[in-house]
Structure 1
């Protein structure tokens, strides 16, 4: 789904004694008008939104093509033998957190269902906290990397004690490592915060920089993957000097392995966003050559573009901050005010507000 539904019609104060409002009273005040038909703030916002859609001729617009694919494992939707009901919520929440991180990195990303086959033209494949893949997909990812793509996967042990660890063949060969994991045993993360320190430059991350991630998960999933390099290069270590991020050059591309379940840990942490996975995704995008047509220097404002049939492009800046922010977008063209056409550099975005600009 890529559209919107305006919901709900009106408030229902006068129906307080009827079902479902007599036992769900909060349902009475979801309206965009009050019980007397007077406009509420959501209706005024919808009216402003409609004016923007008309101004950009939204019906003739589409999202800019994405160079990054967020891979949706088939185990989310198919009941394979030895899979467990607990697998699906983990897959879903990890994907959700991966999408949030991609948006915070201003990285356009497309959801790619493993069940449909992987898109052939992605520069970057993201597999957040992924433990289950079919053999066909694992081999296809290796082929894509050899042909020039970047394949990123973060390890996840799973949230149940049966079949812990990677559930696809030859992780060693795909990522250039040797597993040091005993079958079925979870190696617990004992720190409350993962410190990932880079030992060399990695995309937009400089050697010596440290990313910090709150650790979370249950007794099965709060686990890391012990490996030693076997062709891969360690680009970041944890606080104990163990490999935390490795890259393996293969053919014209590469694979990247995070030995911690970054997205899963974030998904299991309350009020965690924005957390620092977006910085890793931005670095991956730079390494992969995945386009980010417009970026801002704060994860509290998401930036993306639409392109119209006539070639005109529009930048959308969407704030998740509860205060006014001023940002200076970095775009691959000149930004202009939607109404006046005047050039724009610094953009003021209201709390939870949206600004739309033309991109020349």
Structure 2
């Protein structure tokens, strides 16, 4: 009996299962704000409300151009990590190691040997080392999970611990200062009045959106996250695709490491500490399903901006970091509860 190929049904940002059922119930008519557009509008409104609160409570200090650039620069590093995390979670996985991989990449790319080679040749050596370290770590995660059968939580937790420990060994728990001036001149510059690392965040976001929403790779990612078995029967090489997703997460960690070096001018094993949790939080709040099968790059970017703006508003008003953590925790729980509510509606 020949194997019949099936097309997996997944909920995408353009045509979700919930939206299709709502259309059936309403006789072909549905409220556009009840689907992806409604989620995006809600996130935009939340961001605008935070901006209004910031302006009312902090005045010109919050509304200044310098503060806006500060928010965008703080959002840039977490944002790039979150783009990679969006692909992993959309594909039904999780990556707890991206913050540690970022730290390892900053340390490895600022060793004496790397910087000496960069000074003798070109600053691109530093970038190449950071990207290579991040990508290799991501692929190791992918191989362990996809081909080794290790649970994603445990594999990436092991990488979190191992990468951080290796970074400490390489740097001997010291901070390594970037001495290659052309590298700093390039990545600490402004283009049209906007810092280069903000432009990098924008480019990675656009590339991520195109890859997820306009390519076969993106459609396969949604299929793998929505129903791996159906994706396999449809001819998708699920294990190989999952490995690639973790490779993308590692690559974005390497890009974020370059941006971190530009911001701090130093490589340290403490760089990126707990960034993986912030990235996961931004992805979930943005509307990507933790269970996989639905992902949104636009939502992730808005989620990152919401958390970064919230932190800035609290800082401007001298509110403790403990209070910030509590509020962020409440936001994350609310986002997960809303996801569960929509998921239960989709099954009815």
TM-score (norm 1): 0.28
Higher relative contact order (CA 8 A, sep 6+): 2
TM-score (norm 2): 0.28
Higher helix share: 2
Higher strand share: 1
